[in-house]
Amino acid sequence: MVNKIVLNNKEIALNDYQEKPIHTESETKGSVDVEEITVKFDVTKDVYSETAGILYEGVLDVKVPEKDLAFRGEIINFYSGIVNLYEAEDNTTADEYTVTLKNIGR
C-alpha cells in the first residue's frame, strides 16, 4: 500500500490509496498512466488550517513517491467525517478526509 502523498510540497500520511489507470496507445504500446487517485488521510486540529488551505486551491501538484508518480491534479470529489476539529480539545482527535484527484497533466 502507498503510505504517503505530497500535495503542493506538503507530505501527508495516508490511510488508504486507490488509483484508476488509463491505458493509452503511445510510443510504448499499452503504456499505463493514472487517470485519477483517491486518498484517505487523517486531519487533526494542529494541521487543519494548513490542510484546508491546500485543498481550497482546487488544482494541486501531486506526487506519490512510492509509485514514482507526479501530476497536476484537480479535486473532483472531497468529503470528510463529522468531527468538528474547532471543538477538539487536543491534537489526537482526527477527522478522516477523502479526496479524489483527476490527473490534468504536468
Q: In the prediction, which pLDDT does 79 show?
A: 93
Q: Give the pLDDT band (50/70/90) at residue 39.
A: very high
Residue 72 to residues 18, 32, 53, 84, 104, Cα–Cα distance (Å): 17, 17, 17, 30, 6
Evaluate whether the domain defined by 4-105 bears CATH number 2.30.30.50: no
Q: Give the pLDDT band (50/70/90) at residue 21.
A: confident
The answer, yes or no, to whether residue 47 has pLDDT greater than 80, is yes
Q: Give the pLDDT band (50/70/90) at residue 27.
A: low
Domain ranges of the chain: 4-105
The whole-model pTM stands at 0.85
**E strand segments, 1-106:** 4-7, 10-13, 16-25, 29-44, 59-64, 69-80, 94-105
Q: In the prediction, which pLDDT does 30 show?
A: 44
